Amino acid sequence: MQGHSQDIYKAMIEAMRDMVYMCTPDYHLQYLNPAMRDRIGRDAVGEICHKAIYRRDTPCPWCAGMPPPGHTVQCETTCPETGRTSRIACATMGDAEARLVIVSDITDHRMAELELQESETRYKRLVASVTDYIYTVKIENGQAVSTFHGPGCIAVTGYSTADYENDPDLWYKMVHTEDRERVLDQTAQLIEGQAIQPFEHRIIHKNGHIRWVRNTPVPHRNALGMLVSYDGMITDITERKLAEAQISDHTRKLEIINRITIAVNKADNLASMLDEMLNSSLDLLQFHSGCIYLMNENSRTAEMRCASCMPADFINRMAQIDRDHDEAGFLIDNGQAVFHDNCYIAAPAMARRWNFAALARMPLMSKDQTIGMLVIASGQPHHFSENERELLQSIARQMGTALAKTRSEIALRESENRYRTITEQSLVGIQIIQAGRLIFIN
């Protein structure tokens, strides 16, 4: 009976498409099935297995470890000559410690897996590039009774056709809360038979991100002119909206910078120029409050010269600061701007006292010297982008140069006025002659 079983097992191994061989503990081949003999082109019984089959000078790693009886070592290997990949299963047979090795060619399987991965990647790219999908709303007795969303909806909204079928209100739930009323109004007008133009609104993608879409409805009427359904095309316009917002924001900032430049050129006194500079800086980031300090000449203190919407307690306590103030002193001494995206984390006491959630302090520089400080604050946390930081510091530098120029001009005018007052009121006659010509007389 045992011999009969061995004959059956041998017949099975002989018929296998996988390559099978057995070798001794010292790596001599004892048996090769027909598939293995076909691979190496001969019956190599008695030869060293790793040399005859794999052309290796050292034992193969799956055999060298000598798995204990009853255990199997599995691994994969690629033939450098043919490029084909095989899965190796090596087991120790009984007390004789002979090794049974089964070699399965999985090259075609691996290629199929790669093709599947490439196909899935192409599909994902294709889905990601889809920006439109079609929906259809069926109307009965002036009421919407069913809605079908085309398969492209998953690329735009993240939800599948089945998701919309399982939740008939999903089309409304995904609309941004601030846009829902307008979307409902447009839908009601359409059902009432009114002609409406394509409209744009926001949706909440399944991943939680806000997307902008353009909704283009097309009504269908029966022979009696009654609305029986309408189709619609949803187009993802998020990229366009983001580009428009960036252009609008950039234009707004350029206008503000231009406003500051004009204010600097037209200002006839320091107070009006400071007010315009401060208000323009607040408009730049749409912050609600701020102030400007100017350094007192020959002093270690800076004095608040103008303020907008700053708390009264802040103005009273911080009307004058000196270099011993931690952040202000650092800014004054080093000319380094200070930004706090969230004061409740960076400066909680200040945040609680004056409701400053976001704060920026920029030095006003002239000839590498700090002549003042611009402070702007918001009641909401704000992430100061790198572009905003550079823009604010650029404006602060421009303000510093303008302030230094204006202060010099004011000082010159005051000096001239004092000189004129003295000479005009003098009881002594004064005249100035230049190049033989009389150019001044009191």
* Residue with token string 């492209």: 152
The structure tokens listed for 225 are: 């002119």
362-419: per-residue pLDDT in tens? 888 887 788 888 999 998 888 888 888 888 887 888 787 777 776 666 555 655 656 6
pLDDT at 1 over 60: no
Q: Are 361 and 374 in contact (CB under 8 A)?
A: yes
pTM here is 0.46
Question: What pLDDT was estimated at residue 95?
Answer: 62
Question: Distance between CA atoms of 291 and 286, rounded to whole angstroms?
Answer: 14
Question: Distance between CA atoms of 205 and 218, rounded to whole angstroms?
Answer: 24
Length of the chain: 442
Strands (E), 161-266: 199-204, 210-221, 227-236
Higher pLDDT residue, 261 or 296? Answer: 296
The structure tokens listed for 136 are: 């259809």
409-440: per-residue pLDDT in tens? 655 565 565 666 666 666 667 667 777 787 66
153-189: per-residue pLDDT in tens? 888 899 998 998 899 889 889 999 999 999 989 888 8
